[in-house]
Structures are given as structure tokens and as C-alpha cells.
Amino acid sequence: MNKSPLVQCIGISAPPPSLQDNTADIDRLKRAAAAILQQEGGGRRPLSVPCARLGPVAAAFRSAGFRGAVVVNILPAGIEIVDFLPAMAPALPVMALDLGTTHLEAKLLDLQNGSTLAAGHIENRQIQYGADILSRIHFATRSRDQIERDGENEGLLLLQQAVIASINDLAGELAAKAGIKPAAIRALSVSGNTTMVHLFLGLNPYHICREPYIPLVNAPDPCHAVELGLNIFPQAPVWILPGIGSYFGGDLISGILVSGLDQAEATGMLIDVGTNAEVVLGNRDWLIACAGAAGPALEGGVARMGMRAAPGAIEHVAIDTATWSLNYQTIDNAPAAGICGSGMIDLVAALYLARIIDIRGKFRASPVPESAGHEHFLQQHLLREEGITSFVVAPAAKSADGRPVVLSQIDLDAVMRSKAAMYAILSTLTSQVGVEFAELERIYVAGAFGKHIDPRQAITLGMLPDLPLSTYIPIGNSSLHGAERILLSAECRRRSMEIGRKITYIELNVNQEFMIRFSGSRFIPHTDPNLFPSVPVFKEDSGAGDA
Amino acid sequence: MNKSPLVQCIGISAPPPSLQDNTADIDRLKRAAAAILQQEGGGRRPLSVPCARLGPVAAAFRSAGFRGAVVVNILPAGIEIVDFLPAMAPALPVMALDLGTTHLEAKLLDLQNGSTLAAGHIENRQIQYGADILSRIHFATRSRDQIERDGENEGLLLLQQAVIASINDLAGELAAKAGIKPAAIRALSVSGNTTMVHLFLGLNPYHICREPYIPLVNAPDPCHAVELGLNIFPQAPVWILPGIGSYFGGDLISGILVSGLDQAEATGMLIDVGTNAEVVLGNRDWLIACAGAAGPALEGGVARMGMRAAPGAIEHVAIDTATWSLNYQTIDNAPAAGICGSGMIDLVAALYLARIIDIRGKFRASPVPESAGHEHFLQQHLLREEGITSFVVAPAAKSADGRPVVLSQIDLDAVMRSKAAMYAILSTLTSQVGVEFAELERIYVAGAFGKHIDPRQAITLGMLPDLPLSTYIPIGNSSLHGAERILLSAECRRRSMEIGRKITYIELNVNQEFMIRFSGSRFIPHTDPNLFPSVPVFKEDSGAGDA
């Protein structure tokens, strides 16, 4: 009971009814449960039994001889008794879900001991209606005319049904792995961006992407699984991590929870890069956040050869300028299918250090080879087609689909915009509160970006501030981890609400300072190289900042 | 707000969203509502919006320009925002329901001002599955074999569907009368006996009629109308008056609420006679209650010519022994179809005073006529068939079906048992707490029994204690009135729960003292005539007490 998980199994023993003690079954059970809960520090909170559970709970209580265990949902408005078992449950399976735009990732936990029962992921079936958030918002809010023309249901309903079906599939898969029925899953926690949460609840996302960017709801109250058509235990509470705004969802609150930013004495930073870059700065006294488009080039949405961190994605690239050789590594060592964010950063940093691109991120018009090896390397890797220069990372012979994996000038420009946006976001945010980068002891980097990225190369690009590498701490899929913690601890549930109230959100879409900083960041590493003492600046490039 | 009705409409005005104030629509609405509710003394109670209402409420809030009125359910676990209106609702219709075994009686109230919008009643469709409570419990708990043999659904489900359909019909009828749609009904309060409440909720009533007579639930938590298949506003709270035990339901709590027994300084009594007689004794400091079978003979279940208080029922009978004439009055002056409880009591008292029956309630073998009129009267009214004496109240020519309305010795015996049971219940209860009848300033008499009965005749019979007639106060359909009060006032909701906790219930089915008192009460007026100084005792009957 210490951490007070969202769902608990509590031993109960009540005196059997008699003529002298003729309280009704449910009232008898509530009386016994209230006494235990109060003993265990739950205080006198409203205790209820949902209408649909009165019959089954009373029957189980009676047939077990008025002793056994109740399963209770610990909710903000009170405690719900949703089941009665003849003995303490050996396990109390619950599901934590990272509700991603492209993928759903979930973990089945046992709330009795916090252990993991199963884990897995599945594609978000909403993809059929739109690859990214904006196209889904568009699909959800199609006009009546469009809907009638296509003879389809309302877009919002289709999107909700798609994500619920995906979750039900994933729950079924995880339950099978754990050897239980999906109906044995006693709770679901959901961490996702604001749009995904809206579509999950069937809520109109129209205003999310329109100034002043107002979600329909930030902190939805918990509901029962059955209300959303989920196939888990019907009265399983569905707990959604609260968001702060249209571009700052519960997935970020998860990141803050997992990093502990909201509890630290020292000021720290959290960076989460997906389609957007979302950044939080703060400590136990204050939190400030912003979000901006910095990710697309690194995620596959913009760069032609870009892709998510999936098997076949080139995740690391190195160019050895001593031997003029290129090495790359793909995820799962599969044939190269594209380049993911970390590979893109490695590659562009390497191209800069190999002086194949200049500080503006442009392929040099005619690099002068310094050696035969260098010349051979350039011949082998540089490609000029229709006036556009590209860099061949993996030749056709080694690629997954028989076409070379290349980075074109167009892709490069997109990466440069992304890296500039990222640094502009970070520096705008710190400047808002007068904090220097050097004051930050820890910078938590969430998600696949944090897991795969090499901070050294990101610093070389001028994407991340030039700090000791130990400052950067990858925290993995913090959206999923946050969803797990919410299930496990009342303190985390309290903190998630508290963070929502405490955080100040800065809208960068309309921030002048951001635009100025963005311009200054469109060079490698920066217009002001003094900001990046660890990054070499090449003589022939000096003055290019004026170009 | 003073009385705090169950559902309220509260004016709200929120600042429109901006880049500086980008709180989500629902969170904005909750913030504004919380401020108003706190101002109005609601304190900081959990405020939630049910999942299914997020979309509609947010859309209405936005399209009204962030000002208008919220409709809120004031529930024990917190306050629910269930709707948003562009302006204060002109009316807030809610339905109070007396959930009777044979009839449902309801009133549509406007919670904005407490006025009545419509009233009506309907037969309980459960009657097709059983006329009385016991036969319905039997039908609800039929064995699997029986159900399969009849090829029907589970009895419990059929009974629940029948009562829900009856309520939906009644709601539709009342809504039509008031010129609104049923979906505009914002709440339902239900007052009924314990079995009716179980069947309404689809709960197994098996143990209600089996020692130790334990209901499945006494105080169900409020739920939403949609959960029970009711056709009113889906998120209308359904508030059920709590019961105390199998034979003491929410209808009695209603009676206590309406009589104010639980708030009075002086000890009073409440009598409700339906199929059972239910009696409560007490004051603001303590309440004691019991129930027993005293009604059937008065309700049509036992006496052959007995019937409910409906058109054609003989409700009053008088015998003028000066002129030897009999007068009776039927409800609505319709042709006589039977005798209802009050008529039965009048008749038996009159027969006693006319010395046609003796103190044991037996027709005298051969009364000696005192005059020609007397002789004619006896010839006209006394009937002897197959050794059984009957008294003709209405001749065949004046009856509804061409058959005379008569009271046979068998009916008379049943009335005697009922009257004895009633007095035994009252005297057992008072003796339990050492209260004398004379100490009671007020005796509230609920229901049709209270409305139609002449306390003078009931005293003559020895059914009610021999107190000044002004002691007896009819309170009408207090079950329905209680359901109304629950909707109108938080104080009444609080009292209804408090009464449940405060009341001590005595099970008469196993009470020895009751059996002794029952035997002593099987004479007119009583074995001990000193208990009834106002009732004449006839000489020739003296000593009959030993018979």
C-alpha cells in the first residue's frame, strides 16, 4: 500500500450476516473495506460500487463466505470496489501505454509487485487515415460534404475506432504473452501527445492546430474501459496523463516524471524529439516549457531517405579521414533501408569534419582532394544529378531495396533547419529565465532520439549546447515509463497533476526572439563559434557567416 | 443554491482563450465552475466531466463564447458537469418516482423553482410475472431448468426490463404532459421497497425472503440513467433512497423524511400499511423500526372481496342502528366492485357495534332481533351458504359485476388477523423502548391506508391505540413525497443516509413477544378492554375472552 498503486487488491474479512447484524451484502463489504482502507491510511474517502458491479461483487462476496479480497480503483473522487475475489489475487495485471502517432508501445505490469509480465508494440492503425498529426486532425475534422462524398463515417469516429482497435489488439497480444485473458487487465494508463489523446477519447481536435492552439481538454478525468470500447476489464480505470497544451502532451509530463526534473534542486533540462522538439527547463520550484518543429527532418517525414529508428535504419555513421573510409551501422544489422535521426546527425557532423560540407551545410562546390584515398572517397560517395549534389551512404548493392541510400542537398537543408530550430528552442528557453547552459548539470534526452543519438556529433553540428558529454542522459521511452509510474504510485499521479499546474508554457510559434535565434543557428556549429569551443572551425570557412 | 438540489444550473463566464491563457476548453470551464461553486459554499469538492460529455460540453461552451450555464450533478463523491447551455435553463425538469409493487407513481418537478410540471401513474409491468413481492422473487430466482423449459430469458432480467419499460413509459407520458422531451429529464429519484429496488437494478433478490433476510444492497451509489437503460438524459443521476433491510425499504425512509420523525424532539410514530405493515418509532435522538405482515387482508390479497383503493372500491361503510340502515361510499361513486382496506375496517367496526359479530370477530350464531327494522336488516344482509356466514354490503343489483359484494367469515378472520398483527406490532415496538402510547403526540399514517382510513373505526376494532383522533395525521404517498424532497434538498439526501445509520431494525418474524401480543390482540377491541376505554364492551360478550 506504500506507493498506493492505481488498482489494489485488499484482504477483507466480514462477519457473516445474522438476524442481529442484517446489513446488506454490499453495505457489509463497504463497511469492512472502509475500515481496512482507513487503517492503511486511506482516510475517509467516498467508497462506491459501480452499478454494473453490484450483482457480481455481492455474489462473489457471499459465495466466498464473506472473506477474501476486494479489487479497488483508487481514484481522485474516491475509491471504487470493482471486484471480489475468494483470496488475494496472485497477480494484478495492468497495462501502461505509450500512445504514439505511428506506434503504440505497451507494458503489462503486475501491480502486486511491480514486475513486468509482458511488453510489446503495434502500429497505430490510424496511419491509414494520415501519416502525421496534422493530416489526422484534417481527417478528423473533414466537412460534412467530404464525408458524404466518401460515403464514410465521421472521420473522428473512424480515428477513434482505429486507435481503440489497435489498443485492443496490443492488449490481446500482451495478455497472450502473459498467459492471461485481456479481461484480466485491471487498469490502463495512457501517455501520448495531445492530439492522440483527443482522438483516443473521440474528441474534436480542430482547434489544436489553430491559433491560439487550444485543446478541448488537458486533464480528462479517469473513466472506465467499457466507456471507450476497450476489451480489458470493463471497470478498469483508464488514466490519461494530463497535457499542458496543444503541443505539450501527457507524453512530456511522463518525461518530467521519469527525469525527476520537478523534484530536483538543481536546474535541469529535458529534451524530447519526435515530430516536434519539446523542451522543459526547471527544477522543484519552477518549470518552463516550449515546443517547436525541429524533428521532422530527423524522423523520416522530410528527408527523402530519412526513416524511424527501425530495423535497417542507419543509426550510426563515421568517416575516418585518416584512411578515407566510411562505416555505418544499421539497426539489427539489417540491409540499409534509410537513415534515422541519430544516423543523420552523425553523417552531417562527419561530412562537416571531413570538410565535404561547409559551415552553411552546403556541399562544397569542388573540394580539392588531399590524397588519392580522399579522391577515391569523393568519387565513390559524391553524386551529382540534375544539378543536385548527394552523398551516397550505402551503395545500391548493400541496400534493402537495391537503390543507394543517399543524403541529398535537399535533405541536408532540412537537417540544418532542424538542428537550427533545436538550438534556437534550447537557447530561447534558457534565455527566458536567465539560465546559462553551463549551469545545467543534467540534460535528459528522451525517446529514440535520446537512445541512439551521439551527443558528441549533435554538439559538432551545433544542435545541442557544447557541454561535457556526461551532462546528456538518455532516458529511453519516457512516455511509456511515465505511464508505468502512474499505475504504480499515487505520488506520481499527484505529481503529474501538480506539474500541469506548475509549468509555464511558451508558445514559440509567435515568439520573435526564437526567430532571431533560429537564424543565428543555421551554421555549423553556429554564427558565434565561441559558443562551441570544442568544435573545430576551418579557416577557409571563416567569414562564411556573412554569406 | 440554498437547498442544494441534486441537479443545478449555474451561470458561468470564462475569459476566452488566448496565447497568454491557453488552458483547454474543459479545464477552462472547470476552473470557472470551481470558482463559482466555491463562492456559493460548495467548498473544494472534486469536479469532473463524464467521458461521454467531454465533446458536447466543450463544443457548447465554445460556441456560446465561453459564457452561459453549466448543468451539474451534485453527488456524494463530487460534482459532475454534464451539460453546457448558452443561457440559464428556464426549467430543470427532474422526475420523482414511487416504485410500487403494483403501481408506479411519479411527479415531474422543476428544480429551478420546485414547481410541479406533471404527475401521473402507471401499472408496474412486472405484474405479468407475479402479483406480489414473493412471487416476483420466486420468478427472479427460477432455476436454470425452469428457464430453459420456458424458453425465456432469465427471470431477473425480464423483471428488470419490465420495470425499466414501465418507468420509460411513465417518463414519456409525464414529459408529453409538460411539453418536453424525455431526454430533458435531468434526474430521477426512486423510492421503493427493497425488492423493487433490487429488481430495478437487476440484482438477485434471493436472500431477501430467506432468514436472516439480507438484501444484496441497502444503499446503492447513484448511477447514470444510461447505465440502467432509462430513456431520460443519459447522464441524469439516478438517486435511490436507501433501505434498512429486506422488509424496510427506501419508501419507509421517505416516510420518515416527510413526517420529520427523525428531527422531532417529541417521540412520534409512523405507520405505513401496504402488503406489510411497517412501523417506525422515535425522535431526533433515536429511531426503531419493524415490519410485519398486517396488510394483506386489507389490500385485496387475502379477503375475497378485498381490493386496492381504486374506483368502485367501497371505502367507507356505516350502519345506523337507530334506523337499521346501511350506507356505503365507493371511490369515484362507481358501482361497488369490492371493499378496500378502509372500507373493511369501517365495516368490521360497524358489525361489532351493531353486535352482528362478537368480540372474537365471529358472526353471532342467532342474533335476537330487537325490532322489525332490525329483523329486516338481518334478513337483508346476512347470508348463510354451505355453513359459512357472510354479510352482504352491496346487493347484486348495485354491484359492478352483478354479484353481491359480501364479507364472509373467512374474510373476517383475515381482517381480525391483520388488525391483531397491527396492534401487536405497535405495542411490541413501543414496549421495546418503554414508551407508552399516551406519550405519542403524533402518529403519521402513510399511503392510501392513511388517506382513506377512519382512525375512529380502527380504534374500535382495536387495530390502532385508543388515542385522541387528532393524534393521527395522514401524510399521503410519502414514498413519492420523499423522492421529491431528495431531489430538492441536499439536507434531505443527508438525512436519508443518516436515518439509515441511526435506525434500529427489529425482526418480528423471530420475535417471541410479538407472538404473545398477537394472541392478546385477536379480540375486539382487545383481551384487555381497559386498553380501549373509548370502545363499548357488550355485556353478553363478557367472558368470551376465555373462549
Q: CA-CA distance, A223 to A203, in Å (whole number)?
A: 14
A515 touches chain B (CB under 8 A): no
Cell of B82: 454534464
B131 touches chain A (CB under 8 A): no
* Whole-number pLDDT of residue B25: 97
Interchain proximity A217–B48, CB inside 8 Å: no
Pick from B22, B27, B212: CB nearest A18: B212
- In sequence order, the β-bridge partners of residue A179 are none
For residue B91, what pLDDT band results from cuts at 50, 70 and 90?
A: very high
Q: What is the mean pLDDT of residues A49-59?
A: 97
Q: How many Å separate Cα B94 from the centre of its chain? A: 20
Q: What is the DSSP string of A47-99?
A: EE--GGGHHHHHHHHHHTTSEEEEEEEEETTEEEEEEEESS--S--EEEEEEE
* Closest CA in chain A for residue B25: A216
For residue A61, what pLDDT band results from cuts at 50, 70 and 90?
A: very high
Q: What is the mean pLDDT of residues B75-93?
A: 95
CA angle B317, B321, B363 (to 5 degrees): 70
Other C-beta atoms closer than 10 Å to the C-beta of B448 total: 23
* Whole-number pLDDT of residue A336: 94
Chain B contacts in chain A segment 474-513 (CB below 8 A)? 505, 507, 510
Q: Is the pLDDT of residue B411 over 70?
A: yes
Convert B494-523 to b/e letters by CB count within 10 Å (16 or more is b).
ebbeebbebbebbbbbebeebeebbebbbb
The H or E element containing residue B480 is helix B478-488
Other C-beta atoms closer than 10 Å to the C-beta of B366 total: 6
Residue located via cell numbers 495531445 = A194
B65 touches chain A (CB under 8 A): no
Q: Give A-chain residues touching B220 at CB under 8 angstroms.
A: 26, 49, 51, 54
Q: Is the pLDDT of residue B153 over 90?
A: no
* Closest CA in chain A for residue B239: A51
A362 closest CA partner among A314, A297, A420, A410: A410
Residue range B442-485, pLDDT digits in tens: 999 998 777 788 899 999 999 999 999 999 999 999 999 999 99
- In sequence order, the β-bridge partners of residue A98 are A105, A191
Average pLDDT for chain B: 91
Chain B contacts in chain A segment 296-315 (CB below 8 A)? none
Please state which of the ranges A199-203, A449-453, B115-119, B398-402 shows the lowest mean pLDDT: A449-453
B473 touches chain A (CB under 8 A): no
Convert A496-529 to b/e letters by CB count within 10 Å (16 or more is b).
beebbebbebbbbbebeebeebbebbbbbbbeeb
Q: Is the pLDDT of residue A113 over 70?
A: yes
| Probe site for chain A from B20, B25, B211 (most A CB atoms < 10 A) | B25
Q: CA-CA distance, B477 to B458, in Å (whole number)?
A: 20
Q: What is the DSSP string of A314-369?
A: EEEEEEETTTTEEEEEEGGGPPB-EE-HHHHHHHHHHHHHTTSB-TTS-B-SS---
Residues 6+ apart with CB under 8 A from B455: B445, B464, B469, B471, B472
- In sequence order, the β-bridge partners of residue B503 are B287
Interchain proximity A227–B52, CB inside 8 Å: yes
Do B408 and B304 meet the contact criterion of CB atoms below 8 Å apart? yes
Reduced to 3 states (helix: H, G, I; strand: E, B; else coil), residue B219 is coil
Q: CA-CA distance, A74 to A79, in Å (whole number)?
A: 5
State the smallest CA–CA distance between residue B116 and chain A in angstroms: 29
For residue B293, what pLDDT band results from cuts at 50, 70 and 90?
A: low
Q: Is the pLDDT of residue B42 over 70?
A: no
Do B285 and B292 meet the contact criterion of CB atoms below 8 Å apart? no
Do B314 and B343 meet the contact criterion of CB atoms below 8 Å apart? yes
B176 touches chain A (CB under 8 A): no
Please state which of the ranges A288-297, B50-59, B495-504 shows the lowest mean pLDDT: A288-297
Do B475 and B481 meet the contact criterion of CB atoms below 8 Å apart? yes
Q: Give A-chain residues touching B17 at CB under 8 angstroms.
A: 212, 214
Cell of B430: 413501543
Interchain proximity B59–A25, CB inside 8 Å: no
* Whole-number pLDDT of residue A547: 34
Please state which of the ranges A221-235, A406-420, B32-46, B240-254 shows the lowest mean pLDDT: B32-46
For residue A143, what pLDDT band results from cuts at 50, 70 and 90?
A: confident
- Three-class DSSP labels, B54-66: HHHHHHHHHHCCC
Cell of A135: 493530416
Residue range A184-216, pLDDT digits in tens: 999 999 999 999 999 999 999 999 989 888 999
* Closest CA in chain A for residue B511: A19
Interchain proximity B48–A77, CB inside 8 Å: yes
* Whole-number pLDDT of residue B294: 60
Q: Give B-chain residues touching A219 at CB under 8 angstroms.
A: 24, 27
Do A91 and A110 meet the contact criterion of CB atoms below 8 Å apart? yes
Q: CA-CA distance, B482 to B249, in Å (whole number)?
A: 12
A186 closest CA partner among A242, A116, A238: A238
Half-sphere exposure of A291 (CA within 13 A, CB side): 20
pTM of the entire structure? 0.90
Q: Give B-chain residues touching A220 at CB under 8 angstroms.
A: 26, 49, 51, 54
Pick from A18, A51, A213: CB nearest B227: A51
Interchain proximity B216–A24, CB inside 8 Å: yes
Chain B contacts in chain A segment 357-416 (CB below 8 A)? none
Average pLDDT for chain A: 91
Q: What is the mean pLDDT of residues B187-197?
A: 97
Q: What separation, in Å, do the N-terminal and C-terminal C-alpha atoms of chain A show?
A: 64
Chain A contacts in chain B segment 68-97 (CB below 8 A)? 76-78
CB pairs under 8 A between A and B: 144
For residue A544, what pLDDT band results from cuts at 50, 70 and 90?
A: very low
B215 touches chain A (CB under 8 A): yes
Q: CA-CA distance, A489 to A263, in Å (whole number)?
A: 15
A49 touches chain B (CB under 8 A): yes
Residue range A476-495, pLDDT digits in tens: 999 999 999 999 999 999 99
Q: What is the mean pLDDT of residues B271-289?
A: 89
Do B528 and B306 meet the contact criterion of CB atoms below 8 Å apart? no
Q: How many Å separate Cα A492 from the centre of its chain? A: 17
Interchain proximity B22–A507, CB inside 8 Å: yes
Residue range B327-374, pLDDT digits in tens: 999 999 999 999 988 899 999 999 999 999 999 999 998 778 889 999
* Closest CA in chain A for residue B79: A77
Task: Order the strands of the B388-394 sheet from edge to edge.
Answer: B382-385, B388-394, B405-408
Cell of A219: 486533464
Pick from A59, A77, A217: CB nearest B26: A217
Q: Is the pLDDT of residue A340 over 50?
A: yes
A52 touches chain B (CB under 8 A): yes
Task: Order the strands of the A325-330 sheet from edge to edge.
Answer: A325-330, A313-320, A338-339
Please state which of the ranges A182-186, A297-301, A357-361, B214-218 shows the lowest mean pLDDT: A297-301
For residue A132, what pLDDT band results from cuts at 50, 70 and 90?
A: confident
Cis check: omega of the bond before A5, within 30 degrees of 0: no
Interchain proximity B505–A22, CB inside 8 Å: yes
State the smallest CA–CA distance between residue A180 and chain B in angstroms: 28
Q: CA-CA distance, A223 to A49, in Å (whole number)?
A: 14
Q: CA-CA distance, B302 to B316, in Å (whole number)?
A: 19
Ramachandran angles phi, psi of A369, nearest 5°: -65, 140
* Closest CA in chain B for residue A18: B212
% of chain B beyond a pLDDT of 70: 94
Cell of A269: 533540462
The residue type found at B482 is: G
B52 touches chain A (CB under 8 A): yes
Q: What is the mean pLDDT of residues B207-234?
A: 95
Cell of A409: 542537398
* Whole-number pLDDT of residue B544: 41
Q: What is the mean pLDDT of residues A395-416?
A: 92
Q: CA-CA distance, A338 to A308, in Å (whole number)?
A: 9
Do B187 and B214 meet the contact criterion of CB atoms below 8 Å apart? no
Pick from A217, A223, A246: CB nearest B27: A217
> For chain A, how many residues are written?
547
For residue A545, what pLDDT band results from cuts at 50, 70 and 90?
A: very low
Q: Give A-chain residues touching B22 at CB under 8 angstroms.
A: 212-214, 245-246, 505, 507
Q: What is the mean pLDDT of residues A244-261?
A: 94
Cell of B37: 461553486
**Taking phi first (over 0 means left), then psi (-120 to 50 degrees means alpha), and beta for anything else, what does residue A387 get?**
left
Q: CA-CA distance, B310 to B293, in Å (whole number)?
A: 22
* Closest CA in chain A for residue B26: A217
For residue B1, what pLDDT band results from cuts at 50, 70 and 90?
A: very low
Other C-beta atoms closer than 10 Å to the C-beta of B234 total: 15
* Whole-number pLDDT of residue B152: 59
Please state which of the ranges A77-81, A294-298, A470-474, B16-20 shows the lowest mean pLDDT: A294-298
CA angle A7, A13, A18 (to 5 degrees): 135
Q: What is the DSSP string of B34-53?
A: HHHHHHTT--S--EE--GGG
Half-sphere exposure of B365 (CA within 13 A, CB side): 0
* Whole-number pLDDT of residue A293: 67
| Probe site for chain B from A63, A216, A246 (most B CB atoms < 10 A) | A216
Residue range A148-166, pLDDT digits in tens: 676 656 899 999 999 999 9
Residue range B488-523, pLDDT digits in tens: 999 999 999 999 889 988 877 667 888 899 999 999
Residue range A383-393, pLDDT digits in tens: 998 889 999 99
* Whole-number pLDDT of residue B542: 44
Cell of A470: 556526461
CA angle A466, A471, A474 (to 5 degrees): 115
* Whole-number pLDDT of residue B418: 87
